[in-house]
Amino acid sequence: MKKSLGPKTYFFPLPVLLIATYDSQGHANVMNAAWGGIHDTNQVALCLSTDHKTTANIILKNEFTISFATSETVKESDYFGLVSGNSCADKIAKAGMHTIKSENVDAPVIDEYPLSLECRCVSVNSDDQGTTFVIADIVNILADEAILDEKGKIDMNKYHPIAYNPSNHTYQEMGKKVGNAFKDGLELK
Amino acid sequence: MKKSLGPKTYFFPLPVLLIATYDSQGHANVMNAAWGGIHDTNQVALCLSTDHKTTANIILKNEFTISFATSETVKESDYFGLVSGNSCADKIAKAGMHTIKSENVDAPVIDEYPLSLECRCVSVNSDDQGTTFVIADIVNILADEAILDEKGKIDMNKYHPIAYNPSNHTYQEMGKKVGNAFKDGLELK
């Protein structure tokens, strides 16, 4: 029996994105966001409130990095969503994290996150409802050698991204492998 | 030490979306897609190849449903990404699944998926590279009573959406809870 829940912003899984930017003074900031995904080949899309410090920084610099929250960084990642860069200028340091300057874009890379996308905007559009929509090229990906296998590929035994669950406001680990894409369905062909 | 992987369409986690539509004859079709996410409050965004049967159906009907692949439906969900609706008219039946007509949109709901978003397009734009970008309102969500708790909320012990891992082409379960959003970070405030 199906039950109607009404319209809701539910989606499974949602990512836990850490968007890192520089302001006009070169100060690094980061925010936590769940509304984003792949827009096209090597491109991401983000939906951000226009009043965020991050949004102002993206409009200014046109570049940013995205890291993905992990099981090891739950507390820090959640904190980055609780505190505004408009009121707390050193939130990254307060969380005990550190930044390095990206070599490819004018944005910080937060060292403690094992994987970061270096992004350059293709379009940034703010509507009159207070929302800004960003589409950006992924110009490079930086990975900690600690999460790579001997072939240089990401080893999911060493990398533990988490998802945001919009129905109960929890974070869940990307857990055990349950199948192989482009393969398991062949059985039904 | 950080290593550059170059530009790649990596994102963690990516969803495993089953997009269901009717064609001009009222035949139900479904495809598997990972490039999509929340666009704004009660809205989704999708990136689809224009040559998919699903894309033609969305352009025709302006409405569709999205379900999320689960641990229980890995094989069927993968199959829906391996076979085109252009060449196999009855892929849903071949996978042993069944559709009911949505009461809110002119699109099928695949009964075997526990959660489905009923969607109506706000914009559908096809570029000259063979890609179509869809933004749609979530007009209602349908949930199996079997995944709801006594208060009518989704019980994640009963609902097991999966993620697509673009780095190794596997499916991973949304696993154990690792934190509470808007809460765990308070400790760092």
Structure tokens at A55: 């949004």
Structure tokens at A153: 């590929």
Q: Do A162 and B178 touch (CB under 8 A)?
A: yes
Instruction: Measure CB to CB from residue B141 to each of A6, A83, A137 and give the nearest one.
Output: A6
Chain A partners within 8 Å of B6 (Cβ): 140-141
Smallest Cα distance from B25 to chain A, Å: 24
Over residues B98-116, the pLDDT tens digits come to 999 999 999 999 999 999 9
Q: Mutate which of A10, A12, A68, A141 to test chain B, going by most B C-beta atoms within 10 A?
A: A12
Write down the pLDDT at residue B88: 82
Q: For A22-41, give the DSSP string.
A: E-TT--EEEEEE-SEEEEET
Cα Rg for chain B, rounded, in angstroms?
17
The residue with tokens 């829940």 is A5
Smallest Cα distance from B23 to chain A, Å: 22
What's this model's pTM, rounded to 2 decimal places?
A: 0.97
Over residues A149-159, the pLDDT tens digits come to 999 999 999 99
Mean pLDDT of A53-77: 98
Cβ-Cβ contacts under 8 Å for A103 (sequence gap 6 or more): none
Q: Which amino acid is at A21?
A: T
Which ranges constitute the DSSP H helices of B20-177?
Answer: 53-61, 74-82, 91-94
Give CA separation, B130 vs B47, B50, B52, B62, B125, in Å. 11, 5, 10, 19, 11
Cα dihedral A25, A26, A32, A38, rounded to 10, equals: 120
Smallest Cα distance from B31 to chain A, Å: 12
d(CA A81, CA A91): 10
Smallest Cα distance from B4 to chain A, Å: 5
Nearest to A67 by CA among A96, A40, A102: A102
Instruction: Measure CB to CB from residue A75 to each of B14, B115, B185 and give the nearest one.
Output: B185
Which residues, in sequence order, are bridge partners of residue A64?
Answer: A119
Q: Mutate which of A38, A112, A140, A148 to test chain B, going by most B C-beta atoms within 10 A?
A: A38
Instruction: Measure CB to CB from residue B15 to each of A11, A94, A117 and give the nearest one.
Output: A11
Chain B partners within 8 Å of A80 (Cβ): 185
Over residues A5-26, the pLDDT tens digits come to 999 999 999 999 999 999 999 9
Task: Give SS3 for A53.
Answer: helix
Q: What residue in A sits closest to B14 (Cα-Cα)?
A: A13
Q: Do A1 and B173 touch (CB under 8 A)?
A: no
Q: Do A156 and B167 touch (CB under 8 A)?
A: yes
Write down the pLDDT at residue A87: 85
Q: Do A162 and B179 touch (CB under 8 A)?
A: yes
d(CA A153, CA B100): 42
Mean pLDDT of A43-71: 98
**If you average pLDDT over every residue of chain A, what do you get?**
96
Q: Do B37 and A11 touch (CB under 8 A)?
A: yes
Over residues A78-132, the pLDDT tens digits come to 999 999 888 888 899 999 999 999 999 999 999 999 999 999 999 999 999 999 9
Mean pLDDT of B126-140: 98
Chain A partners within 8 Å of B188 (Cβ): 75-76, 79, 94-95
**If you average pLDDT over every residue of chain B, what do you get?**
96
d(CA A79, CA A91): 9
Q: What is the ipTM of this complex?
A: 0.96
Apex A159 CA angle, A153 and A163, nearest 5: 125
Chain B partners within 8 Å of A177 (Cβ): 170-173
- Give the pairing type, strands B43-49 and B36-40: antiparallel
Which ranges constitute the DSSP H helices of chain B?
Answer: 53-61, 74-82, 91-94
Q: Do B95 and A144 touch (CB under 8 A)?
A: no
Q: What are phi and psi of A180, to 5 degrees?
A: -115, 125
Structure tokens at A150: 């001997």
